[in-house]
Homo-oligomer: A and B are copies of this chain.
Amino acid sequence: MQHSVTFTYDDRQAQVTVPTNTLLSEAARLAGVEIGQPCGGQGRCGRCAIQVTGGNVRRRSTLRLSTADLEQGYALACQTVIEGDATIYVPPQEKIERRLTTDRVVAEVSVPADYDYLLCQTVRRLFVSLPPPSMDDQTDDWSRLQTALRLQHSIERLTCSLGVLRKIGPVLRQGEWQVTAVVEYTQPPDRSAARLIDLLPGRLDEYAPLWGCAVDIGTTTVTLWLVDLVTGMVHAQVAEYNGQIARGEDVISRIIYASRPGGGEELQQRVLETINGLLERACKRVKSPDAPLTPQQIVKVTIAGNSTMMHLLLGIPASSIRLSPFITVVNHLPPLTGREVGLAVHPEALVDCLPGVASYVGADITAGVLSSGLDNAENVMLFLDVGTNGETVLGNRDWLVTCACSAGPAFEGAGVVHGMRATSGAIEEVWINSETLEPTYRVIGGGKPKGLCGSGLISLLSEAFLTGILDKGGNFNLAAPTPRVREGAHGGEYVVAWGDETATGEDIVLTRVDVDNLLRAKAAIYAGFTVLAENVGIPLESVERVLVGGSFGKYINVEKAIQIGLLPDMEWSRFEFLGNTSVKGAYYALLDWRKRERITHIARRMTYIELSADNTFYEAFTSALFLPHTDLNKFPSVAEALSRTHKKSEEEAPYATRADTNLS
């Protein structure tokens, strides 16, 4: 029996007549309508989702569709057959991608609803009018200013550095005794004690921006947000590899390097250069109506980062962090200034280094816990920082336990041959057609690919495993019928993009060494949270939500992360991907002294569990060094996906055909 199928796409229509049980994807092909099928029509990728706007179809599988999707008429073209006349809407590919992933990725940063500059901010701009001196009133400038700030702004105890004292005389006269003071309330919410950061001539527009920045110093990546403290708005977000990476990929090798003569100073300079470079870049992104914004205008900096990064930034010897019993020199740093730290910001800027908990649980985690909201949760939640150090926090508003494991920088694109950060040119998602073994990928920014970022590596690893390119031990199947799997310099490798498609002209490949690094990284993280949960006797199943932080790409695919065994096999709805929770926590602390205090409170009440102290962690780690795990029972959804793929492969003779086009 023949049926008429009408496709609507891009404001156009196409019609075709096909027999009963024809796949919608086949009907589309016949109608000349292009529908993406990166997984090769296996119902794995969900990219062929279309909307059935009328008629009669049957969905064989609804694997990647939610109830809401189904209510809106969505169906997978490769898994749906025609049973009568039908009208079909083909959404733009972009919309599909967004639908599939947006609900799991970090939202654009929004200013906290409760942010009120006048109430929350410790750095403030105050206008002061002073009576000019005369022969009858020869009070010195500093006393005159102190008195004016006391009478006009209730500041009883004003302090300032020699640097500021040097400028007040000229500024008072230049402003003809009308000046704007930039002050920091040192004991909020008390406003009677303040430090003078700067003094500017004249009266500044009350709503002119007052610049601050939030920084996360990751072992691999440094992220910086430039913020207007008046509105709370983030005006620029920039990130760059930590310049220290050339001197060791993980904290241990950095500490060893820092112990060499001059090594500590070199690492300190390297990260300062990274941050100062980011400051320049961020400032350039701000379009100023008057003079261009310079880093020297930044008057408050809040810094998160792991304990080693914090020590190295500040030139504090970190060697005791590495040696048993693993002691930091300092967890709660005093308030510092831009000058002291060596940042290119205002020399008197407040530099607030957030507090850490222990050698391997630093301020990135306390900030992350704050921004995830874990410390306020009623039910037990799990917070994972998928970064170089792989920290985990389990708890709720009543208790918090934490541990750390050395995951390495693979998920940040470092320590991987063609790895890169999640910036323009990075492949952030990969699909491999299980028949042809040809890949489809999406590049951030849409141009030619330059390399693979963390999320791209996760989906590539998962796809290679599901399509049989990699076995569960991470070995390449060199017999796979595709020139893309080949013998490389360090064992097997898979070509994701040939040189003629790439920005560099070089093949982009995933090597055996890369796979090993990725396996170690994901195994460390998985072992970390499972051992922590066991340790406190909380079954993973009873964890209400899993909050995942890390410098991933913009889109994260939870299914892929489960398939490689990085995340526990749970309903997807229990995962929340929060992006860089560390910089976000620093941003919240930058804005609001109450949140800053909450981080101190988090640091003080978090219990650190030392994983190196027993063998449990090592056992869990080695068991997790597989795709997805030695024990497939822990990953039922992956077992099912595998059985589905293999069944299909048997039915359809995999590797028999090759796709002739790359769909990307």
Contact = CB atoms under 8 A, between A and B. Distances in A.
A320 B169 contact: yes
Interface string A116-138: 00000000000000000111011
A-B pairs, top 10 by smallest CB distance, nearest first, are A142-B330, A169-B329, A140-B328, A140-B331, A135-B325, A141-B329, A133-B327, A169-B317, A162-B340, A166-B316
B320 A165 contact: no
A199 B170 CA distance: 39
A134 B332 contact: no
A161 B340 contact: yes
A130 to B, nearest CB: 12
27 contacts: A133-B325, A133-B327, A134-B325, A135-B324, A135-B326, A135-B610, A135-B613, A138-B325, A138-B326, A140-B328, A140-B329, A140-B331, A141-B327, A141-B328, A141-B329, A142-B329, A142-B330, A143-B330, A159-B334, A162-B314, A162-B336, A162-B340, A165-B314, A165-B316, A165-B330, A169-B329, A173-B320
A166 B320 contact: no
Interface residues of A, number: 45
Nearest to A317: B169
Given A140-B328, A140-B332, A169-B317, 7 more contacts: A138-B359, A138-B608, A141-B330, A159-B334, A166-B314, A166-B315, A168-B330
B341 A141 contact: no
Interface in A136-181: 137-143, 159-162, 165-166, 168-170, 173
Contacts of A314: 162, 165-166
A437 to B, nearest CB: 50
A358 interface: yes
A336 B159 CA distance: 12
Given A316-B169, A317-B169, A320-B173, A330 B140 contact: yes
Contacts of A142: 329-332
B138 A610 contact: yes
Protomer copies? 2
Interface string A39-57: 0000000000000000000
A405 to B, nearest CB: 16
Nearest to A334: B159
Contacts of A317: 166, 169-170
Nearest to A329: B169
A561 to B, nearest CB: 32
Contacts of A170: 317
A141 B320 contact: yes
Interface in A219-247: none
Nearest to A311: B169
Interface string A392-413: 0000000000000000000000
A589 B340 CA distance: 29
A314 B359 CA distance: 40
